[in-house]
Structure 1
Amino acid sequence: MASPQISIIVAVYNAENTILKCLDSISQQTFEDFEVIMVDDGSLDHSGKKIDEYASRDSRFKAFHKSNGGVSSARQFGIDHASGEYTIHVDPDDWIDPDMLASLYAQAGKADMVICDFYINSYKGQEYVEQQPQNVEDNMAVIKDLFGHLHGSTCNKLIRLSCYSQFNVRFPEQISYCEDQYVVISLLLNPIRVIYLPKAFYHYVRGNEGSLSKSYSGKMLEQDKCALTLFTSLVAHTPMRDFVEAHKAYFMMEHAFWWGANYFSSKAFKKEFYSYYPLLKRVIMPKTERILLNLSCRGFYSVTRKVIGMLMAVKHHIYNLTKK
């Protein structure tokens, strides 16, 4: 049997409530020459059973089951078992429009990576997100954009499968987020050709992320530090080193600032991040955010967070009043 033109990888973990909508959107593609590598990463719900049932109905859908190893290991498992000319990932709580594969493949030609726009679907409605690189012919410029307006996801990028083996690119199992950004940057460090299609097909489902009371833990901090080390090492011998190090440090501090209110004391925040603060001089950010991080790194984290919390409560109250 000839290899399919596209391999779609769906890394599945505890997604029994959304997986069928996701898989239905794939099965309804106008482009038919594809395979779907469904990887059940040790789900504790009925996800595994549902992908088995789907595979029994459509031979293009292939179900695999493995012990839980995290999203990176599941994505890599999919790459290792893919046989298509190109690959793309679809997350199990998202869905895609019927013409996505046909449109992307039609543009591929001799390109190794096709980037397209996407939608964000949330309780606020649907938002169109443009993903045009500033200079699609300069891979270093595209990498810079990945720390700005470009999403690092492998879900809105059709990628030639052979590039993974040719350039020894693998998903990093040490981290459980930004793993796709790491892979995209790894690919762009090599002489691959990138093109951009100014259309959106992918529907990225986002929950209510406006809360300031998200949980934070020492494990999350270690993950952020690990990501900083991994990304900096990845570009260590390129002109991008200082840029990437600064932006990953910024992400780590921003993550801790917004999510760590129940974890960090003022003293602990200063001890953890004061040494990283000079790196932020290389990062363009809103003036207000720079002030907040500056104060927090100097020992005023708890006070700063309380003020932010009160301001957001007032804003929320005003919003509710306007809705009455």
Structure 2
Amino acid sequence: MKMNDSVVVSVVVPIYNTASYVKKCIQSIMDQTYEKIEVILIDDGSMDGSDMICRSFLKKDKRIKYIRQENSGVVRARMTGIDQASGEYLLFIDSDDWIDSDMIEHLVGNIEEADMVTAGVHYEVQAGVVVEYMDKYPEGIYDLQNIDGVLQTMIFDMETKELQRLTPWIWNKLYRTDIVKDIYKELDTGMKFAEDTVFLYKYCLRCQSIRISHKCFYHYRYRSESAFHGTNPNMLSDINMAYLSLIQDFNKHSSGKIMVKQLQYWISVMVLMALNEQMGFDDVIHIPEFILDTDGLKGKKIVLYGAGKMGRDFQLQLSKMGYQIVLWVDSHWTEGQDVKAPQNILDIEYDIILVAVSKYEYAKDIIIKLQNMGIGRDRIVWKCPVRV
């Protein structure tokens, strides 16, 4: 295939030991209906054969650039790709994910005069469980007249108490390359936590306008072995690095007072997550993140659906307060544990099913599955979570 006369979009793909997935990722980019792209593959010292897969694509399509470097972490890998980018716009894709064939065409067609355009995500919450996830703002353009409404609520909405209304990921958005290059000069290459979120918030502060699109093109793959889902004994210091990287930018902004409050709330939630899930602490050392609303639960036989963060919080609170849990279920249960398969609901007597998941997208999927099992909607309860 011939190189396009003019590259419009540079696609940066950092790669590290994802040989099982990277072929599907690269192929999804090469199959795009929009052809004026360059694809910059940054192999961050893979040792599993990912390099051979990348080189095979390099031979087939001249739009591909391949760079192999010593393992230096995802921030430096992306930085290498950004330095090589020649397109007016820039898109990031993780090497274990993939995109629909019309994603880039849609993003380019919608960015117009905006500095950033977003899209929705097919998000794999757990293996085999996929939900559609998009920004919690109406579709459209947010410019100088109303962009502050996004900036002042994108991390935490003080009024609705909703966390991260703007999807906090780097890879479901199209950016202007010149702004990206300026921001990456400031990032600490040693950052190991929320590096994409830090970049995104810094980028948003420089935007004159943002376009929100809800159509889902990006497919995020859940991997239990990924760095995000593993144990990190240095998590608290990594969170502090993210905080220090953002606080000065927020203080300088015209909405600085509100921005700093948002940031501090987000950091507090991340610290709870670190202590409860990612530092390897014993399960008995658990600080509840979600407060249980017990209205309507007294005297009821309760099926608790969900064994994630919110489910574990609710199980502890219900047990300590003497409420009757007749069954605890989750779609990803393990034989021999207290949590059982949802199908067991059909074999017991109960009054209500309390769905204990933090996001409406997840709850909606569970409610549909329960209704498909023949369970009436009036026996299913989900309430918008209240965080500590």
2:340 partner SS = helix
Name 2:236's counterpart in structure 1: 221
Whether contact under 8 Å (2:118, 2:174) holds in the other structure is: yes
Q: Does 2:201 match 1:189? A: no
Root-mean-square deviation (Å): 3.3
Q: 1:124 aligns with which of 122, 128, 143?
A: 128
Residue 150 of structure 2 aligns with an amino acid whose one-letter code is V
TM-aligned CA deviation for residue 174 of structure 1? 2.8
Does the alignment pair 1:36 with 2:64?
no
In the TM superposition, 1:13-92 aligns within 5 A as 13-92=16-95
Residues 36-62 of structure 1: per-residue CA shift (max 9 Å, x gap): 000001112111121112111100011
**CA distance in structure 2 between the aligned counterparts of 1:229 and 1:205, rounded to whole angstroms:** 30
CA pair 68-141 structure 1, distance change in 2 beyond 3 A: farther
Matches of 2:35 and 2:54 in 1, distance apart? 19
Which residue does the alignment assign to 1:199?
A: 215
- How far apart are the structure 2 equivalents of 1:165 and 1:149? 25
**Deviation of residue 208 (structure 1)?**
5.8
Correspondence for 2:154:
145
Output the TM-score relative to the length of structure 1: 0.78
2:269 aligns with 250
> Deviation string for 1:231-261 (max 9, x for gaps)?
3333233221132022112212223213345
| Structure 1 counterpart of 2:128, one-letter code | K
Shift of 1:316: 1.6
Residues 164 and 170 in structure 1, CA contact (< 8 A), matched pair in contact too: no
Cα distance change on mapping 1:256 and 1:320 into 2, 3 Å? farther
Higher normalized helix content (fraction of residues): 1
1:116/1:200 contact within 8 Å kept: yes
Q: Partner of 2:304 in structure 1?
A: none
Structure 1 residue corresponding to 2:106, chosen from 92, 103, 107: 103
Give the alignment partner of residue 232 of structure 1, picking from 247, 263, 282. Answer: 247
Matched, 1:157 2:165: no
Bigger drift between 127-136 and 66-75 goes to: 127-136
Q: List per-residue Cα deviations over 1:137-156 (Å, max 9, x = no partner).
A: 44444343244233221211
Query: 1:136 touches 1:195 (CA, 8 Å); kept in 2?
Result: yes
Q: Distance in 1 between matches of 2:132 and 2:25?
A: 19
Select the structure of larger CA radius of gyration.
2
Distance 2:182 2:112 in 1: 19
The answer to whether the 8 A contact 2:115-2:207 is kept is no
TM superposition score normalised by structure 2: 0.66
- Secondary structure of 1:198's aligned partner: coil
User: 3-state SS of the aligned residue for 1:236?
Assistant: helix
1 or 2 for the larger relative contact order (CA 8 Å, sep ≥6)?
1
CA spacing shift, 1:167–1:73, aligned 2, 3 Å = closer
Q: Verify the 8 A CA contact 1:115 1:156 in the aligned structure 2.
A: yes
Asked if residue 321 in structure 1 is aligned to residue 344 in structure 2, the reply is yes
Aligned to 1:136: 142
Deviations 1:244-303 (A, max 9, x none): 02211221222321334536985xx99xxxxxx9xxxxxxx74249xxxxxxxxxxx9xx
Q: Is the 8 A contact 2:183 2:199 kept in 1?
A: no
Partners of 1:125 and 1:254 lie apart in 2 by 21
The residue type equivalent to 1:153 in the other structure is W
| CA–CA distance in structure 2, aligned partners of residues 173 and 246 of structure 1 | 25
State the distance in 1 between where 2:267 and 2:168 align.
13
Query: Matches of 1:318 and 1:158 in 2, distance apart?
Result: 40
Structure 1 residue identity aligned to 2:62: S
